[in-house]
Structure 1
Amino acid sequence: MQFILLLRQAPRQLAFGALHSFGSSFGQTFLVALFVPFISASLGLNETEFANIYAGITIGSALCLPVVGRWIDKVDILSYSLATMALLALGCVMISLAGNVWMLIAALFVLRLAGQGLMTHVSMTGIARYFTKHRGRALAVASFGFPLAEAILPATLLALIAAFGWRYTYAGSAVFIIIVLVPVAFLLIRRDQKFRAVPTRSSKTAAKQASDSNGPTDTTTDSMPDQLSPTDPEHPRLFRSLYVWFCMPMLAAPPLIMTALFFHQGAISTHKGIELGWFAAGFTVFAVTSVLGAFGSGPLIDKHSARRLFPWHLIPMMAGIIVLAISHQPFVILIYMGLVGITVGFATTLRTAIIPELVPLDEIGAVRSTLTAVMVLASAMGPAIYGWMFAADISIEVMLTATLIVMAVISVLSWLSERPGFYVPPGISPQDSH
């Protein structure tokens, strides 16, 4: 019921978030992977060469994200959005024209930075800044664009590739971005100055006045804690505290472990004597439970806060890995993938919802882009780390047991960092921060 009420009160803002999470798919791995065989054949690359190029580009774009991502705190979010979409469309055009490896590298860099990085950044940062009272639910709605794209675009683009070829399909994607996504984004928030505004460290009173005049008071900033005013002493920034370094492994673990285990699913299926088709079916279960996890986490975040929930969100993934480690039955793949999906769904909303609870509004973009870069780097490292373990003839059971131990340790560290007084965000009293 609260989701329906939220959609009625702020449909344009939520649609803006979902539009960008949907549009990010043009630079996401699941969609780029569809083109890999055709691009490789066209440019004379083998699978290993393309994988190495792609890993390097992913790391490079992640390193650039903290620099480019912090600009969202300095400019009108609609301008930032339109510039990001233009960059994404440029990446699509560049890859459609790539005639050699160097052009491909440049195109993929632009595509990954704009798609996986900045489009997602616009979606999550915009929603996190605008909503406070129902931030968890709002982030869950905005993130629905991810599974929607996963359900619609792969089959659509494969059909277009079969009909027109991969180059025309990527060129057509650029046209779609310019003539559909750009106008829709513009129309959704062009008159919403409150959503578009550059964030400032205004007081609670000013925030409430803006909310009363420009937006629904029960869904946005009416419950916003006081932020630092220009005359307040400077509060120690998040990255100067031990808190973030205790929590950083919790942010990096899901993308690192999930990417690695998915990447090496062939080796896992061979070791356990399970047909690879069970993993294909498992991805359907994964998609469903990730949506359920995201929407289920929203009300819990709104009720208990993201900080309180954060240390516990790896538990479903840990349970899934335990099931995978102890059984050789094919059906456990579905259970394992479903439990991993729940954690991924929770993480989608938690890792953005927690940031406004830790820093002033005008630092959300900078902090989120830095933490996102860490997660992207972790996802790039995961397959290599587990690949080294496979090369060293370490058994699957030992790998999974080691993974569980590491996840348990970092969960305890995250829980310890939430002890009273460990870190008090700017403008929030110690008794209100937990």
Structure 2
Amino acid sequence: MVKPGLPRLPRLARSWRCRPGAPFYGPVMLGLAAALVVGTCVGQSFLLGQFKEPMQASLGIDGTRMALLYFVATLAGGLSLWPAGLAVDRLGLRRVCLLVLPALALSCWTTALAPSVAVLLAGILCLRMLGQGVMELLSGNTVAMWYHRRLGIASTVTSVAFALSLLVLPPLVQASIAAVGWRWTYGICGGAILACWPIVWLAFVGRPEEMGQAPDGVRRPPAAPTADAQRAAGLRGESLNVRQALRTRSFWILTVALAHYALALTAAVFCVNSVVKERGLPEEQGAWVISALGGAMAASYPVLGPLADRLHARWLQAFATLALCGAMIGLAATSRPRHLVLVGAALGVCISAQAAVGATAWVRRYGRDHLGSIRGVVQTTAVAGSSVGPLVLEALADGLASVPSVHAAAGGRYTAALWILAGVGVPVAAMAMLLRGGEAGVQTDPQDPNAGSRPRAPRTRPDTEQAADRRPL
């Protein structure tokens, strides 16, 4: 029998809640979030790149048309993330997840059966929109709903799962393509995605409140607590909607930093093989960067994730940006194979730090009620930056190549362009240090070095004061 005031739950969740003592359901949801983040791989660049050459050979597409197709699909898919975020807020995580999984499987099968460039464009567009975009949104929001104080530690699980995917899936996909072809391989990916649907239907719960629990598994205050008491316990926050978030300084600082990260990271990964070829190194050594990236990410996030629970977001954001700048400078100056490993390691650390910021900063600053729509806007910006990154790099490289003195001093087609993109990151890192304030609905002490990482008892007039991170533009 369903308890009064609680919604009807999936079968596994109902049986879990009926157990004596009702253990915290968060670890189950954390496992499902990790599965969702692995499912995003079918639309991620590192896996789609394994299909690039077979697709071109099968459909007779040259490299330029394939790059343009990828750009259009990525940009169009990114523009749909804000409506997807609104759907998450209105329909709930569970319903959207049950709709997205079959749609993503269908996208894999559409791509696998594509008889023409137009159908391939539609398939890749849906893969980028649903795989890289909506599934990542669902995974991040799921962890944010179930964890608050330990959000940085909890997000370690999903980030390590993604890092291990970087290490394991590319060679598996390459072996499958060699054995059965790229079409059957994408068909198998679609089947694996659809196989997760029954598990989500049986076990997925969007919020701990639906189970009569609280984030982090903490005990709720006594019956009918006041709003101030809930704020002091860290169990209640005042959520901002998209319009309110857009009027805060911290939103634009974090969004600009994320856009630079997406643009520069995609540009760096895009030109790795070309730089390797320019320097006269064996072409297969370009793959060392991805391997080192995955290993460094898996090793660094267990450190950086928990730090997000202790440090202010400005420190991690500045560190992520500077790590990316260092990786791009290293790539521009690389001349030996071991340099490529260091570049990949720096990129992996950068991704871990940026992921730690993304997992914790948005929900702590703007609350949970409108998190889907806010993250939808943010991810649209990130996808747009990712889609134009290679184009910006190529435009800079072509423009600087026409200046003989610059080209001769650089010693490579992409060298000067990489230095410029790295230089842009320095003011972005400085801007990140302007972040102030703390959590949504929790008053913070501006003199506290950990403001934004732990709650402070509300002041006498909490309704008339705002944290510094909500200062309007």
TM-score range normalised by the length of the shorter chain: 0.7 to 0.9
Provide the residue aligned with 1:412 in structure 2. Answer: 430
Q: Is the 8 A contact 2:40 2:131 kept in 1?
A: yes
C-alpha distance in 2 between matches for 1:155 and 1:236: 44
Deviation digits for residues 315-365 of structure 1 (CA, Å, limit 9, x no counterpart): 323333344445634322221221121011111221131101211211111
Q: Is the 8 A contact 2:142 2:206 kept in 1?
A: no
C-alpha distance in 2 between matches for 1:278 and 1:19: 30
Q: Is the 8 A contact 1:17 1:143 kept in 2?
A: no
Q: 2:441 aligns with which of 423, 427, 430?
A: 427
Q: 1:194 aligns with which of 188, 191, 207?
A: 207
C-alpha distance in 2 between matches for 1:164 and 1:327: 37
Provide the residue aligned with 2:289 in structure 1. Answer: 282
Give 5+ residue unaligned stretches, structure 1.
Answer: 1-6, 198-208
Provide the residue aligned with 1:123 in structure 2. Answer: 139
Provide the residue aligned with 1:403 in structure 2. Answer: 421
Q: Is the 8 A contact 2:36 2:136 kept in 1?
A: yes
Change (3 A) 1:105 1:122: same
Q: Identity of counterpart residues, as a percentage?
A: 23
Q: 2:73 aligns with which of 57, 64, 68?
A: 57
Q: Is the 8 A contact 1:194 1:210 kept in 2?
A: no
- Whether 1:260 aligns to 2:267 is yes
Task: Report how far residue 314 of structure 1 moved.
Answer: 1.9
C-alpha distance in 1 between matches for 2:24 and 2:371: 26
Deviation digits for residues 184-222 of structure 1 (CA, Å, limit 9, x no counterpart): 223333xx463485xxxxxxxxxxx9436x972179x99
- Whether 1:39 aligns to 2:55 is yes
C-alpha distance in 1 between matches for 2:135 and 2:242: 30
Task: Report how far residue 250 of structure 1 moved.
Answer: 1.0
Change (3 A) 1:218 1:299: farther
Provide the residue aligned with 2:124 in structure 1. Answer: 108
Structure with greater helix share of residues: 1
Provide the residue aligned with 1:22 in structure 2. Answer: 38
* RMSD of aligned alpha carbons: 2.9
Task: Report how far residue 283 of structure 1 moved.
Answer: 2.2
Q: Is the 8 A contact 1:34 1:154 kept in 2?
A: yes
C-alpha distance in 2 between matches for 1:403 and 1:106: 32
Q: 2:213 aligns with which of 211, 217, 222?
A: 211
Provide the residue aligned with 2:178 in structure 1. Answer: 162
Deviation digits for residues 276-305 of structure 1 (CA, Å, limit 9, x no counterpart): 343322322111111223221111011224
C-alpha distance in 2 between matches for 1:121 and 1:235: 16
- Whether 1:228 aligns to 2:244 is no
Count of residue correspondences: 405
Provide the residue aligned with 2:200 in structure 1. Answer: 185
Task: Report how far residue 22 of structure 1 moved.
Answer: 0.6
Q: 2:88 aligns with which of 65, 68, 72?
A: 72
Secondary structure, in 3 states, of the residue corresponding to 1:74? helix
Change (3 A) 1:57 1:358: same
Secondary structure, in 3 states, of the residue corresponding to 2:149? coil
Divergent runs of 4+, >6 A = 233-236
Task: Report how far residue 274 of structure 1 moved.
Answer: 3.7
C-alpha distance in 2 between matches for 1:99 and 1:298: 44
Deviation digits for residues 147-176 of structure 1 (CA, Å, limit 9, x no counterpart): 232333333333333333332332232222
* Structure having the higher Rg: 2
Change (3 A) 1:88 1:28: same
Task: Report how far residue 31 of structure 1 moved.
Answer: 1.8
Q: 1:299 aligns with which of 292, 299, 306?
A: 306
Q: Is the 8 A contact 2:262 2:382 kept in 1?
A: yes
C-alpha distance in 2 between matches for 1:8 and 1:267: 50
C-alpha distance in 1 between matches for 2:24 and 2:89: 27
Secondary structure, in 3 states, of the residue corresponding to 1:118? helix
Q: 1:243 aligns with which of 246, 250, 259?
A: 250
Q: Which amino acid aligns with 1:346?
A: A
Secondary structure, in 3 states, of the residue corresponding to 2:238? coil
Change (3 A) 1:171 1:196: farther
Tell me the TM-score normalised to structure 1 length: 0.84
C-alpha distance in 2 between matches for 1:66 and 1:104: 24
Task: Report how far residue 133 of structure 1 moved.
Answer: 1.2
Q: Which amino acid aligns with 1:142?
A: T
Q: Is the 8 A contact 2:250 2:436 kept in 1?
A: no
Change (3 A) 1:148 1:358: same
Deviation digits for residues 226-279 of structure 1 (CA, Å, limit 9, x no counterpart): 4239xxx99971111233223322111222112112211233234444443433
C-alpha distance in 1 between matches for 2:299 and 2:382: 22
Provide the residue aligned with 2:191 in structure 1. Answer: 175
